[in-house]
Structure 1
């Protein structure tokens, strides 16, 4: 193997040298940004526009760390235990340079490294770090350093106006449509984004309507369970029909005796506060079965009789 010295220009104009291990005889292409990669290693994923990306070694001071954290608008809440562990290592001179980078986007907003920066500030030490700047904001979704980014993190970047309930609602929507018989799900990050883009208008409308209903009692049904059902009922018969159904069932407003809605509401109310070993107890999946079953009976004009629920969630009419 041949070792070639690569000179990396730092943000302050200084330079530092790092060793690049390159296969002997491999042709090297250089992008306009100066980034080099062996030609035979250039995959489609590597053919991204890296213009504007800068990287190099920088000594981070407590004051710099503070300023970076002030503009830390995309990361999540700090984990105190992680920061405390880092602080101890830094103060005891046991912190090891690993090459793990602090990463900033095109606007110099921190994408990765918040716990290390907080530790530097608290420990009052100066430490060298590899720093990468100019990385696309979208890269935040794919970073798997420390705590893994989840669908909620992705949505916060993709659309800050997305309702807080979006990820669990989309997971439940996926399970409803797949007929999996589960009340939850685990859409991967990109699927969360794709489904959200397709369902944004319907999701926001259903979340707004269901969220403002004054449920009585409050635990009659899980809001995040009702929202995807409201979306599907609206898709099937229109928002007005879905609104009327959930208003009657969840609040009791406008409900009449000897109707499917009244039978359903009585069943749901009787389950509130019951323990799992009680015959009246209904978990979220059982409540989904009840809601869909009664909705279907209403849509098919079935004559009102005693409410008997099937085992599995029926297909929505």
Structure 2
């Protein structure tokens, strides 16, 4: 992260905040240290309930050096109260790092009512801005591959990958773009399995055998030339039946089906019926 050039401004001796340059709100870029964040948080007296997950997400990005000076400001009232930015300040403390941030001071306290009312930029939005094909499918796959690699096999963990962590993962594993392409194509041919689970399984299986993975996903899509008792036919029958019954299944169940089918194919086993009891341990691809 490139360190921005520090501005010349005066600090309030008591609060450590930049002094307004006039009667109107003013802004400055400040290196926010953990000590400074703690001081400002002592005047965080009227704000939303703190969300630990947001703090954890921000702190991981800060520790990894992914936190960017993007124009989003910490905002303070004329009296020095925190109006916006408490999660970022808590994250600086949790990460124990110094982060340059834009700071706006001198705001009317009522301005807080209009803050954070916009729609949050999602990972899919980020991928779209970068010109990625199948942006939202790609984003869903990246988040779940990241979760899988951290041991969250059911995608129900207490925190999820941040936008920057997803971008970093894509940089490290550009082949996930191919998994998103195959997932979208397979979903179009056979619309009974979520594209996110198709993409995650494609990525996991490709690590083991790329050629067999290509054949496996072609057959999921078309079911062609498969003998009675073939695991892929059992998979197609299972998810089609559940779709017709309008069952709402957690997405990890579909991944479990895909992995059980893949393992059966790799082991040369027949399957007349595919099952994965709700409380079963998530199988691992072999």
- Scaled to the shorter chain, the TM-score interval is 0.5 to 0.7
Equivalent position SS for 1:213: helix
Q: Aligned in 2, Cα 1:160/1:221: closer, same or farther, shift over 3 Å?
A: same
Which residue of structure 2 lines up, in the alignment, with residue 56 of structure 1? none
Which residue of structure 1 lines up, in the alignment, with residue 283 of structure 2? 314
RMSD: 4.1
Matched, 1:160 2:131: yes
Q: Which entry has the higher C-alpha Rg, 1 or 2? A: 1
Matched, 1:244 2:210: no
Which residue of structure 1 lines up, in the alignment, with residue 56 of structure 2? none
Which residue of structure 1 lines up, in the alignment, with residue 182 of structure 2? 209
State the TM-score, normalizing by the size of structure 1: 0.49
Structure 2 distance, partners of 1:216, 1:42, is: 52
Q: Is the 8 A contact 1:255 1:262 kept in 2?
A: yes
Matched, 1:191 2:168: no
Q: Aligned in 2, Cα 1:22/1:205: closer, same or farther, shift over 3 Å?
A: same
Deviation at 1:312, TM superposition (A): 2.7
Structure 2 distance, partners of 1:176, 1:43, is: 33
Q: Aligned in 2, Cα 1:112/1:190: closer, same or farther, shift over 3 Å?
A: closer
Post-superposition Cα deviations, 1:59-102, rounded to whole Å, max 9, x if no partner, equal xxxxxxxxxxxxxxxxxxxxxxxxxxxxxxxxxxxxxxxxxxxx
Deviation at 1:217, TM superposition (A): 4.9
Structure 2 distance, partners of 1:145, 1:196, is: 28
Deviation at 1:230, TM superposition (A): 0.6
Q: Is the 8 A contact 1:181 1:285 kept in 2?
A: yes
Post-superposition Cα deviations, 1:196-240, rounded to whole Å, max 9, x if no partner, equal 11122x11112222322364552x1111220111111111111x2
Which residue of structure 1 lines up, in the alignment, with residue 195 of structure 2? 223
Q: Is the 8 A contact 2:183 2:196 kept in 1?
A: no
Q: Aligned in 2, Cα 1:152/1:254: closer, same or farther, shift over 3 Å?
A: same
Deviation at 1:286, TM superposition (A): 1.7
Out of 230, 240, 262, which is 1:295 matched to?
Answer: 262
- Unaligned stretches of 5+ residues in structure 1: 1-7, 9-17, 25-35, 45-109, 114-138
Which residue of structure 2 lines up, in the alignment, with residue 126 of structure 1? none
Which residue of structure 1 lines up, in the alignment, with residue 230 of structure 2? 259
Equivalent position SS for 1:272: helix
Q: Aligned in 2, Cα 1:284/1:20: closer, same or farther, shift over 3 Å?
A: same
Q: Aligned in 2, Cα 1:43/1:184: closer, same or farther, shift over 3 Å?
A: closer
Post-superposition Cα deviations, 1:35-75, rounded to whole Å, max 9, x if no partner, equal x999xx7869xxxxxxxxxxxxxxxxxxxxxxxxxxxxxxx
Superposition pairs for residues 1-317 of structure 1, below 5 Å?
20-21=10-11, 23=13, 147=118, 148-156=120-128, 159-161=130-132, 163-164=134-135, 165-183=137-155, 186-200=160-174, 202-213=175-186, 215=188, 217-218=190-191, 220-238=192-210, 240-276=211-247, 282-304=249-271, 306-309=273-276, 311-317=280-286
Structure 2 distance, partners of 1:232, 1:223, is: 14
Equivalent position SS for 1:247: helix
Deviation at 1:258, TM superposition (A): 1.8
Alignment size in residue pairs? 190
Equivalent position SS for 1:195: helix
State the TM-score, normalizing by the size of structure 2: 0.53
Q: Aligned in 2, Cα 1:275/1:214: closer, same or farther, shift over 3 Å?
A: closer
Structure 1 distance, partners of 2:276, 2:162, is: 33
Structure 1 distance, partners of 2:166, 2:142, is: 7
Report which structure shows greater RCO (CA 8 Å, sep ≥6): 2
